[in-house]
Homo-oligomer: A and B are copies of this chain.
Amino acid sequence: MPPLVLTASSVDLTRTICDIPSVSGDEAVLADLIDDAIAALPHLHVYRDGDTIVARTESDRPQRVVIAGHIDTVPINDNVPTRDVDVDGDAYIWGRGTVDMKAGVAVQLKLAAELVEPRIDITWMWYDHEEVDADLNGLTRLARSRPDLFAGDFAILGEPSNGTVEGGCNGNLRAVIRTTGVRAHSARAWVGENAIHKAAPVLARLADYRPREVEVDGLVYREGLNAVRVGGGVAGNVIPDLCEVEVNYRFAPSKSAVDAERHVRDVFAGFELDVIDVAVGARPGLDAPLAQQFVAAVGGEPRPKYGWTDVARFSAMGVPAVNYGPGDPHLAHHDQERVPIAQIEDVERGLRAWLS
């Protein structure tokens, strides 16, 4: 594998690193290449933990920004290697990882090499295992072993945001609602109790639910409460004794985990409900002075981020954080994942303008 050339354009770097498969768990080849390329740069102090690489400028600036991107992707589905495509007259790089989020990582790698004397000290983080269980996430590991590396006045995650600033993120709660009954032969149903029939009000409440829009620090977050799974049944001639409805609640970053659980329990009052997991969101982080300078430098109107991202991790550690990267988040994980070349260049220009 030839070494990464960080003086290449960020567009070429995007093609190169997308063509090196790095599905979660298999990031080592790409991490080694990044490590080798970054370790050769004398202005950066490098720390490695597994396949997570941290590179810091230490120029004694009064402020520090953390700029992070994950290097793993969801599984490839016949969409590697990348290719250049044209959609409605716009040039795209098509393939797994182009949106989520190797184009963002390519911009970061290029600027990490180029910005020898940035205006603000920078902690670059390229990390593994973002697309899988949070316990495996490289930042979870790093936060345990080296929490000091997260210190900063502001953080930028290169998650796809169509090249505009997306502030914070919604929280995410999953719960299972269970109804129970009594099994019986379906020829003598009156001997049993049908657990699936008892779930009727659960689905009715979901169907009737009107999600709120919640303004937080000037951005409006759309919430959502949805069934993501339903299951029940024993055999074609048996009255079922169990039905489960798994729901997913996406809640505004102004709500705590306790608030979110209380809301879901209110909606399904009278039913047995177990919360499986909950991750609070992140407030937009746009009131921080560095954030305001950043938004002014890159331009555009900040918007809310709906999906949960690692900005919440920084927010929870007291570091205001936003998402800013090339690519349409609707195309993340999509088999037709593709990033507009112009957005890669825009994001590169935006970050450079602010950091130089």
Binding site for B on A (CB under 8 A): 170, 172, 174, 185-191, 194, 196-201, 203-204, 206-207, 211, 222, 224, 226-240, 243, 245-246, 248, 250, 306-308, 330, 333
A228, B224: Cα distance in complex, Å: 30
Among B188, B189, B194, B229, point to the contact of A240 (Cβ < 8 A): B229
Q: Which residues of B contact A170 (CB under 8 A)?
A: 187
Known: A196-B203, A199-B203, A200-B200. A308 touches B187 (CB 8 A): yes
Known: A230-B196, A230-B232, A230-B243. A224 touches B186 (CB 8 A): yes
Whether A222 contacts B174 by the Cβ 8 Å rule is no
Known: A194-B206, A198-B207, A206-B196. A226 touches B189 (CB 8 A): yes
Q: Which residues of B contact A187 (CB under 8 A)?
A: 170, 172, 224, 250, 306-308
Q: Which residues of B contact A248 (CB under 8 A)?
A: 186, 236-237
Whether B196 contacts A227 by the Cβ 8 Å rule is yes
Among B197, B239, B250, point to the contact of A186 (Cβ < 8 A): B250
Among B188, B201, B233, point to the contact of A228 (Cβ < 8 A): B233
A239, B229: Cα distance in complex, Å: 9
Known: A186-B226, A189-B224, A189-B250. A174 touches B236 (CB 8 A): yes
* Candidate in A185, A230, A307 with the most chain B CB atoms within 10 angstroms: A230
Q: Quote the shortest CB–CB distance from A211 to chain B (angstroms).
A: 8
Q: Quote the shortest CB–CB distance from A309 to chain B (angstroms).
A: 10
Q: What's the number of copies of this chain in the assembled complex?
A: 2
Whether A307 contacts B185 by the Cβ 8 Å rule is yes
A246, B232: Cα distance in complex, Å: 10
Q: Quote the shortest CB–CB distance from A274 to chain B (angstroms).
A: 14
A213, B185: Cα distance in complex, Å: 18
Known: A187-B224, A200-B200. A236 touches B246 (CB 8 A): yes
Whether B194 contacts A204 by the Cβ 8 Å rule is no
Q: Which residues of B contact A250 (CB under 8 A)?
A: 186-187, 189
Whether B222 contacts A228 by the Cβ 8 Å rule is no
A243, B203: Cα distance in complex, Å: 12
Q: Quote the shortest CB–CB distance from A225 to chain B (angstroms).
A: 8
Among B185, B207, B229, B333, point to the contact of A232 (Cβ < 8 A): B229
Q: Which residues of B contact A231 (CB under 8 A)?
A: 230-233
Whether B200 contacts A228 by the Cβ 8 Å rule is no
Whether B246 contacts A233 by the Cβ 8 Å rule is yes
A198, B207: Cα distance in complex, Å: 7
